A = this chain, B = another copy of it.
């Protein structure tokens, strides 16, 4: 079995923003589908792992794009496993135009495997006798020319928004869907910012789960560096749940993200 899986999609009319480009959240969803097909076709799909009482948990996702696919364009996503450690595995993505082959960009992700009952991490090198190592393509064999996930650290964040969570926010497990966090984060920025700039790099780190009914508070910290028009070049976001509740006034960190504009 080839170590690379190719996943194809077309940019649908309802999946583009007001600039005519694919919503980053929809791209994220396609990447997760590509990952799902790759792992399923190699015996490591969530459905197959569930029989062994394991499941995959997405820990980090970083996307870096020269260009965002536009309406009606045909896109190909290649995905492969770059490394496997005891508790984490790195999965990379290449995103390109299916017609002329030009590269839109790359993505990196980090996954853990947990026991569905204890929610404790499992040793990836022991599950199925290390079978996963058969699929590794090292950085030398298949380069992914973008920086690895950086550190996200907010020193003096301001509260930008507090949002309740509803029916559409949650997945089959009752958790707030990984992609919905991306949408809520992108909704923090005003239309003007999207008219003048585009997101060059987006990083998200999933720290804890949140559930239907949780209240999410969005903390924000812009970089000192600005673009020519004075808007911040980089913005860090931290989502905490149940902020200001008597038991836990600072809330609990659920997600951290960093957005780089150009």
Contact = CB atoms under 8 A, between A and B. Distances in A.
Contacts of A225: none
A212 B167 CA distance: 22
Given A18-B212, A212-B18, A13 B172 contact: yes
B166 A187 contact: yes
Contacts of A167: 17-18, 186-187, 189, 191, 194
A10 B69 CA distance: 22
A30 to B, nearest CB: 9
Nearest to A16: B172
Nearest to A171: B14
Interface in A160-214: 166-174, 177-179, 183, 186-187, 189, 191, 194, 212-213
A120 interface: no
A29 B172 CA distance: 20
A262 interface: no
A25 B168 contact: yes
B18 A171 contact: yes
Contact of A172 (B33, B71, B168): B71
A101 to B, nearest CB: 24
A232 interface: no
A32 B15 CA distance: 12
Nearest to A186: B167
Contacts of A212: 18, 191
B191 A14 contact: no
Contacts of A12: 29, 33
A261 to B, nearest CB: 14
Contacts of A166: 187
A17 to B, nearest CB: 7
A173 B46 contact: no
A222 interface: no
Given A167-B187, A167-B194, A36 B18 contact: no
A251 interface: no
B191 A213 contact: yes
A250 B46 CA distance: 50
A23 interface: yes
Nearest to A188: B166
Contacts of A14: 29, 32-33, 171, 177-179
A-B pairs with the 4 shortest C-beta distances?
Answer: A166-B187, A168-B183, A18-B174, A20-B172
9 contacts: A13-B36, A14-B178, A18-B167, A18-B170, A167-B186, A167-B187, A167-B191, A167-B194, A168-B183
